[in-house]
Amino acid sequence: MDSLFRGTLWTILILFTLPHLACNMLCPGSCLCNFKGAVKCVGDAITDIPQNLPVHTYLLQLNGTQMNIINEQSLAKQYLLLRFSLTYSHLHAIHPNAFHVARQLKSVKLSSNDLSAISARVFSPLATLEQLHLDGNQMETIAPDMFEGLVSLLDLDLSRNKLTSPASDVFDGLTKLTFLNLGRNSINKLPPTIFHSLTNLLQLMIYNNELEELEAGIFDKLVNLVELKIHHNQITILPPQVFWSLNNLKTLTLSSNRLQAIPEKTFYNMPKLTKLTIYNNPLLSLPDQLMGHMPDMTDLYLYATNLATVPGNVFANMSGLLRLNFHLNDKLRELPSDLFCCLPKLEKLSLKSNDLLYLHPQLFSGLTTLGILLLNDNKRYFLVKFSFEGS
Ligand SMILES: *[C@@H]1O[C@H](CO)[C@@H](O)[C@H](O)[C@H]1NC(C)=O
Ligand SMILES: *[C@@H]1O[C@H](CO)[C@@H](O)[C@H](O)[C@H]1NC(C)=O
């Protein structure tokens, strides 16, 4: 009786202690393992995925290793692994069948490596994959069926590569995708239908590329898009109505391009817009109708352009504007007298470092809530008496 009881006690004790012991004992060298199954391995000593990982490993992060190749069996037997990352490791090859043994993966991050060619369909077994990061590699092209089969993919990062002209069907079938980053590549051409499958996309990054134009209709299917970043390209013209399907857009960046003109009504049908950047473009003029109703816009920066003047109603639809930074425009000489007619909430207005010559006495008369007005460094302008309503 007594010995049976003692035996049971020992069994209980061992059962409770074992996982902790096992966890500490089985964590491979160069790795840190936590009891929940997260394993992080760092350093040159690692040349392949450590063999004796804890059985319940669900997260494996390898960083700064010498693992240059993912072999056919590297990921074998990691039945519970859901998130795998191998970064800063000069990875240059992936066996075509490397992911056949790890079909359950939800996240694969291979950022900051030396991948230049990835065999087509290498990721295709990963039907439940939600996140794929290939940013910071050397890819110049993407095989047309590279992402085929990734029906669950939500997040795809291809930034910081050497892509020049992705094919029109590379993203076909990625209907669940919500985030796509193509920024910091050398893209000079995007086919008009390239994004047409991406009806659930929320964020699209194309900044820091070499685009000279946007094709008509390119964003037409992105009806859910919230953020579109196209700054730092070489875009000279925009097709009319190119953004007209983007009724949910909150952020649009077009700054640092080569726009000299913008077509009429370009920013219509974006009632939720809160951020629009068009500064640092050699704009010569703006059309009489440009901005649609955008009551949530609070800050606008319009500087480093070649504008000599602007239409009197250009800000009229931005009724919620709090801060307007309309400065550093070398050639800006004249402002229409009704320019600030419809900005009842404006708190800060900067007109500094323009080339203003004359300001209409009624120019600021509607700005009843203005707290800061900057007019310094306008070489030519001479002071006139302004009237501020209610003051
Ligand atoms: C990975 O390694 C790189 C370079 O050695 C380092 O800059 C980075 O912070 C590391 N990242 C993580 C998550 O440890
Ligand atoms: C202001 O927006 C409305 C609706 O979007 C539009 O009809 C009107 O023409 C716009 N005004 C200007 C000056 O663009």
Cβ–Cβ under 8 Å, residues 105 and 126 = yes
Atom 7 (ligand 2) nearest CA:
292
Q: Which ligand is nearest to the CA of 310?
A: 2
Query: How many A from CA of 294 to the centre of ligand 2?
Result: 9
Is the beta carbon of 313 within 6 A of some atom in ligand 2?
A: yes
d(Cα 347, Cα 349) in Å, to the nearest integer?
7
- Substitution site in 87, 110, 114 for ligand 1 pocket (most atoms within 8 Å of beta carbon): 87
* Concatenated DSSP letters of 345-356: T--EEE-TTS--
**Cβ–ligand 2 contact at 386 (below 6 Å):** no
Q: Is 88's C-beta closer than 6 angstroms to any atom of ligand 2?
A: no
Nearest ligand to the C-alpha atom of residue 316: 2
Question: Probe ligand 2: pick from 276, 289, 290, 319, max atoms within 8 Å of CB?
Answer: 289
3-state class (DSSP) for residue 348? strand
Q: List the one residue out of 285, 228, 281, 277 whose CA is nearest residue 257.
A: 281
Q: How far is the CA of 41 from the centre of ligand 1 (A)?
A: 11
Which atom of ligand 1 lies at the shortest distance from residue 40's CA? 14
Average pLDDT, integer, range 19-30: 65
The proportion of the chain whose per-residue pLDDT surpasses 90, expressed as a percent, equals 86
- Over residues 125-150, the mean pLDDT reads 96
Closest of 197, 122, 109 to residue 159, by C-alpha: 109
* pLDDT, mean of residues 11-24: 44
pLDDT band at 116 (very low <50, low <70, confident <90, very high): very high
Gap between the Cα atoms of 302 and 296, Å rounded: 17
Q: How far is CA 180 from the centre of its chain?
A: 7
Residue that the structure tokens 């693992």 belong to: 67
**How far apart are the CA of 62 and the centre of ligand 1, in A?**
10
Residue 1 has pLDDT above 70, yes or no: no
Model pLDDT for residues 294-353, shown as the tens digit of each residue: 999 999 999 999 999 999 999 999 999 999 999 999 999 999 999 999 999 999 999 999
* Res. 380: pLDDT tops 70: no
Q: Tell me the best of 246, 268, 313, 343 to mutate to test the pocket of ligand 2, counting ligand atoms within 8 Å of each CB and taking the most.
A: 268
- Per CATH, the number for 259-391 is 3.80.10.10
Asked if residue 291 has its Cβ within 6 Å of ligand 2, the reply is: yes
Residue 26 is predicted with a pLDDT of 78
Residue 390 has pLDDT above 90, yes or no: no
| Mean pLDDT for all residues in the chain | 92
Residues at CB less than 6 angstroms from ligand 1 = 63-64, 87-88
pLDDT at residue 216 in the model: 97
Q: CA distances (Å), 375 to each of 104, 173, 380, in order?
A: 61, 53, 11
pLDDT at 357: 85
Beta bridge partners of 348: 323, 372
Ligand 2 and 266: CB distance under 6 A: no
Nearest residue (CA) to ligand 2, atom 14 = 289
Write the DSSP assignment of 302-328 as a string of letters. Answer: --S---S---TTTTTT-TT--EEE---
Distance 288 CA to ligand 2 centre (A): 10
Over residues 254-280, the mean pLDDT reads 98
For atom 5 of ligand 1, the residue with the nearest CA is 64
Domains of the chain by residue range: 259-391
Binned at pLDDT 50, 70 and 90, residue 14 comes out as very low
Task: Please name the residue whose Cα sits nearest to atom 5 of ligand 2.
Answer: 292
Nearest ligand to residue 40 Cα:
1
d(CA 355, CA 334): 8
